[in-house]
Amino acid sequence: MRITQSMMKDQIVNNIDNVLRRISTLQRQASSGNKFDLPSQDPSDAVLTVNYNAVLEKLKTYKSSLQQVQNNFQGYDNITGQIMAAVQQVNSLVVQAANGTNTPSDRAAIADEIKQISKTIAQLGGTNVSGNYMFAGSSNSNPITSMVSGGSTIYYYTSNSATSARLSLNIGTVTLDSNVNVVDLFNYTQTVSGATQSASLISYVTGSGGTVHTGLLDKIVKDLQNNNVSNLQSDLGALQDYENSLSKVTTKIGATEQSLQSLMNSNESLNTYVTQLVSSAQGADMVKVLSDLALQETVYQAALQTSANSLLPTLANFLK
Segment 169-191 shows an average pLDDT of: 89
Segment 40-57 shows an average pLDDT of: 83
Best-predicted range by mean pLDDT among 34-43, 61-70, 307-316? 61-70
The answer to whether 69 and 63 are in contact (CB under 8 A) is no
| Residues near 128 by beta carbon (within 8 Å), at least 6 away in sequence | 134, 142
pTM (global) more than 0.85: no
For residue 266, the SS3 value is helix
The rounded distance, in Å, linking the Cα atoms of 247 and 251 is 6
The answer to whether 176 and 169 are in contact (CB under 8 A) is yes
Provide the pLDDT for residue 195: 73
The rounded distance, in Å, linking the Cα atoms of 71 and 217 is 30
More confident residue, 41 or 268: 268
Whether the per-residue pLDDT at 194 is higher than 80: the answer is no
Strands (E), 91-226: 128-129, 132-133, 144-149, 152-158, 168-171, 174-177, 187-192, 195-200, 203-206, 211-213
